[in-house]
């Protein structure tokens, strides 16, 4: 054991001397490993950040929510054309459902329309207008930076009021003061009664409430599109997560009645849950993970080839030294161990440098994507660099170990 440690120490000293003697060459070779390890660590860190952002985005939907919809959102079984041929869900059906449903704490119909909102000379294009009712706010975790959501009277009366997402408000009113102003949508005037605070889940894109505006659902049908153009989605909130299943069962029963389905007919609607979204996201992140790590793994592979190359050169250069060592009694495995540990040490040094670079760069990435290098990335970097060193050092070390002492001693 002591002997092994001595050889390891000796191997380390020899390799450090060899590195010092060939600085430029060593730096260039190690660079491959540095870049490889840095990119593997950064990639795994970035993927973690993406995953976190997705999870946060999903969490903003609320785990106690159900969405009754014409479409199954994250569907693997039902063909899309079958869903397309389903009857749209209507506002009337929503009202029937609402009257019959006892379990939900809040229900809201939603229908969307893509519109441009104008305030004086400013305008914001391609905004998702959500037509809904006053209970919508109870089915979400949204909060306000000013004002309020529209109330039951405004909703039922179809008043021309609107609630703006933070990003929309910022673009229309860069200096603030959106409340009580009148904005124009497709030429119709709407009074701003509330502005949402920033929700900041960028993964949701246009479905991020920051980029949306909310108004009573009747107004969507009155001003922007016919009732039949798009199916209405019912947002349903259960009292808590243990109630979700019961609410779902009830919803299926009520909806089948409302839609007049016979016992042998399939459901022509779907009840969507955050869980399904999570599943899809996990799959997506998994794919990104595999692809990302594969690509960065390639750069590590290139680095490993560099190390292997330099180790071959090193073995060639030190043929005589190997001959001496063998002549005075070094066994094959001793020589093998010496060169493998040398390459492992070079890779480890490269890996450590790469790790430091990754940590610095992750601070930069952190500006866009909240993330940080985790402890497991440390271990990953160290283990991967040592394994890379051992694998790339093996062939040169084997060549060294196999050298014939007579020829090695004769080598000039």
Among 140, 136, 130, which residue's Cα sits nearest to residue 219?
A: 130
Q: Is 23 in the site for another protein (CB under 8 A)?
A: no
Using the rule CB under 8 A, is 398 a contact of another protein? no
Contact 133, 216 (CB under 8 A): yes
Q: Which of residues 333-372 bind another protein (CB under 8 A)?
A: 333-334
And the tokens for 100?
Answer: 């019959």
Pairing of strands 161-164, 188-196: parallel
Q: How far is the CB of 5 from another protein (least distance, A)?
A: 10
Query: Contact between 332 and another protein (CB under 8 A)?
Result: yes
Q: Which of 128, 165, 325, 353 binds another protein (CB under 8 A)?
A: 325
Q: Give the number of other Cβ atoms within 10 Å of residue 84's Cβ.
A: 9
The encoded tokens of residue 354 equal 């790469």
Give whichever of 291 and 327 is closer to another protein, judged by the CB atom. 327
Q: Does 316 help bind another protein (rule: CB under 8 A)?
A: no
Among 260, 329, 364, 367, binds another protein (CB under 8 A): 329
> Per CB under 8 A, does 8 bind another protein?
no
> Which of 6, 294 has the CB closer to another protein?
6
Q: Which range, of 138-146, 186-194, 277-285, 332-340, touches another protein by CB under 8 A?
A: 332-340
Which residues, other chains included, contact 43 with Cβ-Cβ below 8 Å and sequence gap of 6+? 292, 293, 295, 296
Distance CA 306, CA 296 (A): 16
Q: Which residues contact 7 (CB under 8 A, 6 or more apart)?
A: 334, 337, 338, 341
Residue 4 CB, shortest distance to another protein, in Å, is 10
- Quote the least distance from Cβ 24 to another protein, whole Å: 19
Q: Which is nearer to another protein, 14 or 215 (CB)?
A: 14
For position 17 contacting another protein by CB under 8 A, the verdict is yes
Judged by CB under 8 A, does residue 19 bind another protein? Answer: no
51 or 342, CB closer to another protein?
342
From the number of C-beta atoms within 10 Å of its C-beta (0-12, 13-18, 19+), residue 109 rates as buried
Of the candidate spans 117-125, 168-176, 221-229, 323-331, the one that interacts with another protein by CB under 8 A turns out to be: 323-331
Span of 85-93, 224-232, 320-328, 373-381 interacting with another protein by CB under 8 A: 320-328
Rule CB under 8 A: say whether 268 interacts with another protein.
Answer: no
CA quadruple 69, 71, 75, 78: dihedral sign: positive
Q: What are residue 233's DSSP bridge partners?
A: 110
Least spacing, CB of residue 403 vs another protein, in Å = 10
264 binds another protein (CB under 8 A): no
Q: Give the total of residues touching another protein (CB under 8 A).
A: 24
Q: What is the per-residue DSSP string for 30-60?
A: HHHHHHHHHHHHHHHHHHHHHHHHHHHHHHH
If binding is defined by CB under 8 A, does position 6 make contact with another protein? yes
**How wide is the angle at C-alpha 19 spanned by C-alphas 13 and 25, nearest 5°?**
165
CA atoms within 13 A on the CB side of 237: 16
**Of 200-208, 273-281, 307-315, 321-329, which part binds another protein (CB under 8 A)?**
321-329
**Residue 397 found at the interface with another protein (CB under 8 A):** no
Contact status, residue 398 vs residue 316, Cβ threshold 8 Å: no
Stretch in the footprint of another protein (CB under 8 A) among 3-11, 190-198, 211-219, 339-347: 3-11
Which residue from 36, 131, 323, 337 is in contact with another protein, where contact means CB under 8 A? 323
Under the criterion CB under 8 A, does residue 406 sit at the interface with another protein?
A: yes
Q: Which two tokens stand for residue 337?
A: 């161990």
Q: Burial letters for 220-253: b for 16+ Cβ neighbours within 10 Å, e otherwise?
A: bbebbbebeebbbbbbbbbeeeebbeebbebbee
Element (H, E) at 275: helix 274-317
Residue of 295, 305, 327, 360 that binds another protein (CB under 8 A): 327
Kindly state the smallest distance separating residue 342's Cβ from another protein, in Å: 13
Nearest to 175 by CA among 125, 126, 120: 120
Q: Minimum distance from CB of 50 to another protein (Å)? A: 49
Task: Report how far residue 88's alpha carbon sits from residue 274's, in angstroms, rounded to the nearest whole number.
Answer: 22
Residue from the set 141, 320, 360, 363 that interacts with another protein by CB under 8 A: 320
Name the site residues for another protein (rule: CB under 8 A).
2-3, 6-7, 10, 14, 17, 320-321, 323-334, 405-406, 409
């Amino acid at each position: 054991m002591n002997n092994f440690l001595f050889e390891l120490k000796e191997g380390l000293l020899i390799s450090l001397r060899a590195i010092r003697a060939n600085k430029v060459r060593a730096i260039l070779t190690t660079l491959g490993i540095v870049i490889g390890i840095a990119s593997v660590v950064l990639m795994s860190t970035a993927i973690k950040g993406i995953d976190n952002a997705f999870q946060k985005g999903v969490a903003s939907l609320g785990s106690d929510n159900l969405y009754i919809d014409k479409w199954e959102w994250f569907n693997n079984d039902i063909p899309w054309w079958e869903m397309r041929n389903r009857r749209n869900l209507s506002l009337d059906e929503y009202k029937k459902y609402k009257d019959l449903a006892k379990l939900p704490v809040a229900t809201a119909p939603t229908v969307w329309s893509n519109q441009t909102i104008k305030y004086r000379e400013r305008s914001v294009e391609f905004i998702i207008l959500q037509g809904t009712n006053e209970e919508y706010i109870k089915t979400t975790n949204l909060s306000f930076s000013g004002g309020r959501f529209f109330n039951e009277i405004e909703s039922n009366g179809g008043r021309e009021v609107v609630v703006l997402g933070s990003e929309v408000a910022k673009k229309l009113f860069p200096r603030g003061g959106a409340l009580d102003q009148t904005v124009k949508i497709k030429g119709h005037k709407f009074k701003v009664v509330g502005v949402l605070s920033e929700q900041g889940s960028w993964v949701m894109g246009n479905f991020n409430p920051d980029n949306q505006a909310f108004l009573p659902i009747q107004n969507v049908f009155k001003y922007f599109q016919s009732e039949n153009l798009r199916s209405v989605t019912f947002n349903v909130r259960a009292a808590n997560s243990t109630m979700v299943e019961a609410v779902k069962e009830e919803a299926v029963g009520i909806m089948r009645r409302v839609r007049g389905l016979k016992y042998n007919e399939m459901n022509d609607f779907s009840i969507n849950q955050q869980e399904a979204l999570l599943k899809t996201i996990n799959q997506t992140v998994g794919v990104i993970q595999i692809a990302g790590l594969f690509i960065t793994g390639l750069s590590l592979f290139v680095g490993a080839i560099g190390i292997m190359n330099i180790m071959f050169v090193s073995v060639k250069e030190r043929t005589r030294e190997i001959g001496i060592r063998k002549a005075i009694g070094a066994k094959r495995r001793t020589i093998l161990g010496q060169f493998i540990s040398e390459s492992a040490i070079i890779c480890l040094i490269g890996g450590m440098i790469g790790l430091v670079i990754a940590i610095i760069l992750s601070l930069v990435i952190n500006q866009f994507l909240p993330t940080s290098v985790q402890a497991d990335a440390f271990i990953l970097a160290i283990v991967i660099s040592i394994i890379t060193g051992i694998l790339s050092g093996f062939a040169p070390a084997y060549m060294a170990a196999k050298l014939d002492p007579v020829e090695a001693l004769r080598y000039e």
